[in-house]
Structure 1
């Protein structure tokens, strides 16, 4: 998704940064301001909050606990994790809980892993950012409820116990949270907020605790943006240029406007919106619009031509250097033996289940409301305000749950929001409109995982020790031209090289180079970002080097991990649980891979059955993960399983190609994520840890590709260097 740290902050809020207020219903509302990332922001943070009623925990008189999440829910379980943190300290009843998306106050909801300066969800940072503040919010709410009860009952606070949303005293007096909410709202925030010790936890780390929101997803009552209805809601479908970089030259909408049910046809910055009374009508009207495109600045090349250029660039001197330890060039020239190869990775689509959508409505007073999957709320609020011609305080975002993102809903230019607000503005006040992309819009609409080529070479000494490694990476920059462009240092986009520039193996001479290309195909972070290709290259190459050194692949890796005990621990655990040293039945083969992404360590061992290049199956995956303190073990297992399935589909068969600048794939029939009958049995083993929690939404993805490729190398003797495997294995 997003880069996992903009400037990783370990700041912890103090008691003075808490705030409390009462809302119209006399609810107890608790939150606190963030420690800012720079002195200017820190000075501003010391001032009274602009809106004291925005907060994290709201307890209402009707006995509901509403948790306002700073993190966006797209299926990864962030709402569940945050609720667990609050409930651990609050001692409420899960039947009372609801979690809603919050936005509009960076001081309250800024992502701490990004320095607290902006709200956003990505880079598997939700639990890192939430770990302290949501536990403190729960503890503050509990303390104030107890204080209110002590005052009303005229008893010492220390004699009051709290369990399952009820406060009680040995005298028999009891009250629910709701009955005390109004009184608690008037209590002073306690000067000390001691949090529970690990031995006292009943929610954090509870293996039997299941997601509170599973029922709605199972019975279909969960509401996503695609499901929303409101009075007068119109539906718009988009016509986008077939080539990236093309613009509307002119369009003829006469026939469409004459079609019954078509309300308007509107030009937007990226195309044309056809507005109808419903989806079916809008689609029929779309087919009647004639658009002439200006393709003077459009990308005309196909993916084959682009990759051919990348191969040539990989053979030339690099434009930038990301890591340079020792002298890799000299060490390679004097190595006892060398191995080298060229790897190729295609563009990949996000292909999330719910196609992109958003609803916008302009009020009679000029206010703007936008419903959607707001993965970067602060940015989207600013963009919506600019498009509508109002100030950001006039924009209200309704943060909806979504059916997947994998990075696609965190777009620097807010493409979908621009379309929705621009269309609503053209329609005028009081006419809400839903922009609903079709699957074809979604597949051909850009924002792909970039294509890459790696030219890599490594050298072994006479004892089989890895002494040098040089990797030249060629591909597009995700950060370039975005609000994050300042993160590019000395010509290096960290998202292009992460996973290679920080490889953990003790190699005395390492050189990681980068050549960034200029291609007019919109790219974006894709689940686990740079590690999607760097992990594959490094881990398949290390396996090949282990064979060249005549050493066991696990033992070979462990010999280079003395200074990285967490890497070594997950590798040992996965190998042990997979029975690495035990023989396999005829026709079955194993492969292993290890990778750290977003400060989470994952090792995976794969077992395959191999008959031929066109007849093999991935049968078993044993995964070991160290993500620090395991907040929701069941959810961690689910995310590892989901990440493995997501990554497996990508490396086996997913590929987005272009011909003459036009995307070839349109839907799930030609762009094929993993099918259910391809999903292997997955075993997940979580390393017990006292380290702060890190993320699990993405780190399961990177190791699966190289683990499968290494199993296939064990079966065939061939390292697959061109993905997807379905193409590379038969090449």
Structure 2
């Protein structure tokens, strides 16, 4: 799974530049036969198509696969325009080069934000179409016919005489010598002509996953590798003050004890010995300034600062006057907790630090940050950092951060040869970058007919952009922090939305599976439900009235309601809840069926989703993301909460940070709206919608409104 460019060196004549793609950076290579990665000593492209003399197409992937199906989806984009079968496309990881592989929407070499299809829909199709045209031109030149009269089919160029054809592999040498087609000669297929896009294609990585051939970061095993178990200061800013090295070294197989400014590791011949040595070391810590931080401190700070004015994200109309004239007003406070990521594959990184290079084997969502972190720790120039990126066993935003890589490199600097650093599940949960705690104040008013005439919403919480990309902040507003709040899909004549940045002490915050929308959709859709109840109107009917000028949102709502059987009578303590959202470029409606037992236990047997994500690539992937996203969000809604005491995270494994069990998993139905709009994102959409769909269903079942997550069964007892 190495992505080092160790193949033969090719000169510029081996590359055919498709300047229309990725702002002039995407290169289509049609070089000679090569079974290894494409050499790139002159320059490296943003993305490759390579076709060898056998006709095998290689796509050098600009994005990272972490379970979302992007290897298959992006290969489908290439295969559609190149006119080859999906089975003829092979995938290779892109090399680390931000200047050439920087994400066109995010600006760095990274994968996240449900953007992999949105960002590469046009560039990769353009690359495929360019390669196809060059192959047609090569064949037309040989046959001395007009290229416009030629056609392609499943890896062949067809002669207009109807009798002759040439395989792509037979044409690559001639195609590689041809001039670059002008951008205005590259014609992409119209949706009506798609033969592959929009069909349910089998995933390219299924076989290697099921037979164990696929290598994750945690599986990397360079020659001579040792194993390290790590313990990180339990309080942010803490440091180790005493370690019983003799006890650790007395464990059979233990080779070394490594101490850094904020961690301690035991290096051994195998993981078992490393873990035993770590336990024997009896490490003591100095907590530092954050050693007294408690959950009560954090909530007190949020409560106090949320009462102060924030930065204005949107303001239309006079909200104060509208509220004063409303027939009914509602004021509410909504709270959502810190959340951990708990990916199946815990944090890990294998590192070999040499005198003049640092080589990493890791699965990361952020190649740019990984290289920067390793360079900062070692003092080496970035070009001396070699990253072998691997498929990722779940990211959810956690692997956008490079702290795990930094810890591993610090340890590896003190170890001869490669060392694999694997975090225990306890370290993984207790040393995360958590989804921020949000504390929202919202007020609304309706007139005599129940229509909303005033809407005021203040979002209070940590800003991730303020930490990692301050330039993105707009007059004090974190755009991600207000996504889903500043521009809800409904017609609201008077609206005022603010963002109040509140940074809690002793806590690191970062991306989760949807950050702003994962809390704002809960607040907005819950409050819309509150207004509907105050207006004594059915929640779906109420939303329909407010979506009269938003046809795509209205369409998904009507489809979900129809498929869910909205309006049918349910037994006592059972309810149906609805949520509508526009986030990540996608329209989604979700309806959840919920039952609440007399002891307050919540069960969700069925979830129905209707989604309009624009033009689709693989419907099976969309359904899978709806299912996975809904279950991920439902886990958080029912159980998810990271809390602090004496500066320490109180949860440490799956007995205290509960996952959804298989017998609790609902049946998830997905209905896709056929659309010709630009593609939207899908990986995070369902996670955001499930919170309010479930809590609104709880209100329908019990008459009790849930404004604080996770759901507390004690408050729902009969």
| TM norm. shorter chain > 0.5 | yes
Distance in 2 of aligned mates of 1:319 and 1:253: 51
**Aligned: 1:561 with 2:547:** yes
Name the counterpart of 2:478.
493
Deviation for aligned residue 1:341 = 2.0
Name the counterpart of 2:408.
420
Counterpart pick for 2:578 among 592, 599, 607:
592
Counterpart pick for 1:13 among 21, 26, 29:
21
Counterpart pick for 2:198 among 201, 205, 209:
205
Deviation for aligned residue 1:714 = 0.9
User: Is the CA contact 2:601–2:713 (under 8 Å) kept in the aligned structure 1?
Assistant: no
**Aligned: 1:187 with 2:175:** no
Q: 1:725 is paired with a residue of what secondary structure?
A: coil
Name the counterpart of 1:40.
none
**Aligned: 1:572 with 2:558:** yes
Deviation for aligned residue 1:250 = 5.1
Deviation for aligned residue 1:388 = 2.0
Deviation for aligned residue 1:477 = 2.1
Distance 1:210 1:474, change over 3 A: same
Deviation per residue, 1:270-299 (Å, 9 max, x gap): 412322222112111211324343322225
Name the counterpart of 1:34.
none
Runs of at least 5 residues in structure 2 that lack an aligned partner in the other structure: 1-18
Q: 1:85 is paired with a residue of what secondary structure?
A: helix
Q: 1:527 is paired with a residue of what secondary structure?
A: coil
Distance in 1 of aligned mates of 2:238 and 2:156: 61
Distance in 2 of aligned mates of 1:105 and 1:234: 29
User: Is the CA contact 1:26–1:181 (under 8 Å) kept in the aligned structure 2?
Assistant: no
Deviation for aligned residue 1:24 = 7.6
User: Is the CA contact 1:336–1:461 (under 8 Å) kept in the aligned structure 2?
Assistant: yes
Name the counterpart of 2:64.
72
Name the counterpart of 1:306.
298
**Aligned: 1:278 with 2:263:** no
Name the counterpart of 1:128.
118
Q: Give the 5 Å matches for 1:62-461.
A: 62-114=54-106, 117-151=107-141, 157=147, 161-167=151-157, 169=159, 176-191=167-182, 192-206=185-199, 208-249=200-241, 251-314=243-306, 316-363=307-354, 366-411=356-401, 414-428=402-416, 431-461=417-447
User: Is the CA contact 1:594–1:602 (under 8 Å) kept in the aligned structure 2?
Assistant: yes
User: Is the CA contact 1:20–1:185 (under 8 Å) kept in the aligned structure 2?
Assistant: no
User: Is the CA contact 1:26–1:60 (under 8 Å) kept in the aligned structure 2?
Assistant: yes
Q: 2:591 is paired with a residue of what secondary structure?
A: strand
Counterpart pick for 2:456 among 470, 483, 487:
470
Deviation for aligned residue 1:568 = 1.7
CA RMSD in angstroms comes to 2.7
Number of corresponding residues: 695
User: Is the CA contact 2:32–2:52 (under 8 Å) kept in the aligned structure 1?
Assistant: no
Counterpart pick for 1:518 among 482, 503, 506:
503
Q: 1:426 is paired with a residue of what secondary structure?
A: coil
Q: With the length of structure 1 as denominator, give the TM-score of the two structures.
A: 0.89
Distance in 2 of aligned mates of 1:269 and 1:12: 48
User: Is the CA contact 2:596–2:702 (under 8 Å) kept in the aligned structure 1?
Assistant: no
Deviation per residue, 1:154-210 (Å, 9 max, x gap): 66655654333344556765554444444433333323221122221111111x322
Q: 1:409 is paired with a residue of what secondary structure?
A: helix
Distance in 2 of aligned mates of 1:527 and 1:565: 27
Deviation per residue, 1:123-148 (Å, 9 max, x gap): 11111111111111112222333344
User: Is the CA contact 1:18–1:189 (under 8 Å) kept in the aligned structure 2?
Assistant: no
Distance in 1 of aligned mates of 2:699 and 2:640: 20
Distance in 1 of aligned mates of 2:368 and 2:90: 23
Distance 1:53 1:602, change over 3 A: closer
Q: 1:480 is paired with a residue of what secondary structure?
A: helix
**Aligned: 1:479 with 2:465:** yes
Deviation for aligned residue 1:592 = 0.6
Deviation for aligned residue 1:640 = 0.9
User: Is the CA contact 2:606–2:666 (under 8 Å) kept in the aligned structure 1?
Assistant: yes
Deviation for aligned residue 1:251 = 4.0
Deviation for aligned residue 1:359 = 1.6
Deviation for aligned residue 1:523 = 0.9
Deviation for aligned residue 1:662 = 1.3
User: Is the CA contact 1:325–1:510 (under 8 Å) kept in the aligned structure 2?
Assistant: yes
Name the counterpart of 1:45.
none
User: Is the CA contact 1:30–1:55 (under 8 Å) kept in the aligned structure 2?
Assistant: no
User: Is the CA contact 2:335–2:439 (under 8 Å) kept in the aligned structure 1?
Assistant: yes
Q: 2:685 is paired with a residue of what secondary structure?
A: coil
Deviation for aligned residue 1:693 = 0.7
Which sits farther off after the overlay, 125-134 or 354-363? 354-363
Distance in 1 of aligned mates of 2:27 and 2:48: 10
Deviation for aligned residue 1:485 = 2.1
Q: 2:530 is paired with a residue of what secondary structure?
A: helix
Q: 2:465 is paired with a residue of what secondary structure?
A: coil
Q: 1:67 is paired with a residue of what secondary structure?
A: strand
Distance 1:730 1:435, change over 3 A: same
Runs of at least 5 residues in structure 1 that lack an aligned partner in the other structure: 1-10, 32-47
Distance in 2 of aligned mates of 1:124 and 1:374: 16
